[in-house]
Amino acid sequence: MGNYVNGDFVEDGKKTKLVSPADGSEVATVVLGSKKSAIEAIDAADSAFHKTWVKTSIGERQKLLAKLAALVQDKSYEYARMESANTGKTIRQSTLMDIPLGISHIEYFSSTQEFKFSREISHPEYPDTTGIVQNAPMGVVGAIAPWNVPFLMAVWKIAPAILAGNTIVLKPSHHTPVTALMLARDIKEAGFPPGVINIVAGTGTEVGNTICTDDRVSMISFTGSTQTGKKIMGMAAENLKKVTLELGGKSPNIVLPDADLEHAAKGILFGIFLNSGQLCESGSRLLVHRSVKDRLLKSMEKHLQGMKAGNPLDMETEISAITTPDQLRKITDLVDDGSAQGATVVFQRNLGHQVPDNGLFFPPTILDNVTEAMTVAREEIFGPVLTVTEFTHTDEAVRIANSSKYGLASGLWTRDMKAAKEIGSQIEAGTVWINDYHLLSAAAPRGGFKKSGIGRELGLEGILEYTQTRHLFLNEHESDFDRVAYGLIISDE
């Protein structure tokens, strides 16, 4: 699979074989682009923006997006199969969630009527004038995506950026570029003009840094770790680029004593063990009222024992692999560190010989007696590990939830909807699910507080991130105010 630059697939770069973390089988041979590839993509995007794309209407852009959604829908099973093979997530998740969700999000951007290029305003100080506020495109957008949800990330970066009138250079992770490069084939078939969308797989050093430092790139959209986000922000600052950053998370799930415990148990498990916890907003901290903690943990353990282990490429399997060897080592080290600091492993699923020998797996794990000072309570594990901390008062739960340096998401479980709204509004997070978790709407903005990021994706807010504001001040004729104002420096003879 080659990179997609200026409407063509190119094989300028190092050919690399990718193997599946699910079972070690070969997935694809991809070309990892170089600095030269990135520059050529930026050249193409810059030319396409000024020559063609900026002149298109919102309606024309949406027609192309609608066609893209239809093309992807026709190949949805192939996308799901390759997404799972490349990442190690279950084919069940890819087939029933990730790919359908991505398609529906393309459809949202192809049909939303919320985004308006301009709006009229009045100037209360100058009643004889009017104003037009325009949401103008940024120009060339550089987008850098992570390895955990490559198809969704490609959709979330591309669709709103081009709807807003930008062109784009997307760098998918060099670990999991397959479905982004597949998407390029359908982008070409859909009829997007050459150079509008460019996709270059490669490392951060070669491709990512080039995108961040090229002066023709007006904006960087990055999803990944907080540490890398800081570096990208520093590079962008050199050329005063706009940045949006969706970064790490340490999201809490708060269970109040009146919660439906069976519903909460399932939602909490879904919140942390979907994709084996390799999601930025995974609900990795369970904050549970002391009076219901034992009952909740017992219910969760029952469901965990029933989760089906096996090859993630089998439809019945419910436990995903860990996508990279480095991530597997990180998870292992953090759990060992938590145990050394006093956390108790109250549950760890025995995978035995149920999973492929050549796969990368970490057993679903629950750590109890976790205090706020422990590393596992503060640092993002990004794996299938749930920490448990009990509380006695709701104010205490809110304080613990907000004690994290992160603020991406949170869950809250209670039957009292009035209290839920009041408590939810105190949580320092970009998304607060109430009696639910992980459900994403294309119409709802997504992003983080504190060190979880800057800016938003999805929804109207996500589209507006890819714009800059222009104000047209309209005056049809000289007014009394003009004569007074001009008279400050020009006297009529």
Q: Which domains does the chain have, with CATH numbers?
A: 3-247+452-473 (3.40.605.10), 252-434 (3.40.309.10)
The kind and range of the H/E element at 484 are helix 480-486
- 280 catalytically annotated: yes
- 246 catalytically annotated: yes
Going residue by residue through the chain (493 aa), what tens digit of pLDDT does each one get? 999 999 999 998 899 999 999 999 999 999 999 999 999 999 999 999 999 999 999 999 999 999 999 999 999 999 999 999 999 999 999 999 999 999 999 999 999 999 999 999 999 999 999 999 999 999 999 999 999 999 999 999 999 999 999 999 999 999 999 999 999 999 999 999 999 999 999 999 999 999 999 999 999 999 999 999 999 999 999 999 999 999 999 999 999 999 999 999 999 999 999 999 999 999 999 999 999 999 999 999 999 999 999 999 999 999 999 999 999 999 999 999 999 999 999 999 999 899 999 999 999 999 999 999 999 999 999 999 999 999 999 999 999 999 999 999 999 999 999 999 999 999 999 999 999 999 999 999 999 999 999 999 999 999 999 999 999 999 999 988 898 999 999 987 6
- Using CA atoms, how far apart are residues 38 and 1, in angstroms rounded to an integer? 16
- Which of 40, 206, 280, 380 is catalytic? The answer is 280
- Using CA atoms, how far apart are residues 414 and 417, in angstroms rounded to an integer? 7
Rounded to the nearest angstrom, the gap between the alpha carbon of residue 72 and the centroid of all alpha carbons in its chain is 20
The beta strand positions in 197-272, using DSSP E, are 197-199, 217-223, 242-246, 252-255
CB-CB contact of 307 with 159 (8 Å)? no
- Using CA atoms, how far apart are residues 160 and 100, in angstroms rounded to an integer? 18
Torsion of CA 339, 344, 349, 355, to 10 degrees: 0
- Which of 107, 206, 246, 390 is catalytic? The answer is 246
pTM of full prediction above 0.85 = yes
Looking only at the bridges linking them, the beta strands covering 449-450 and 406-407 are antiparallel
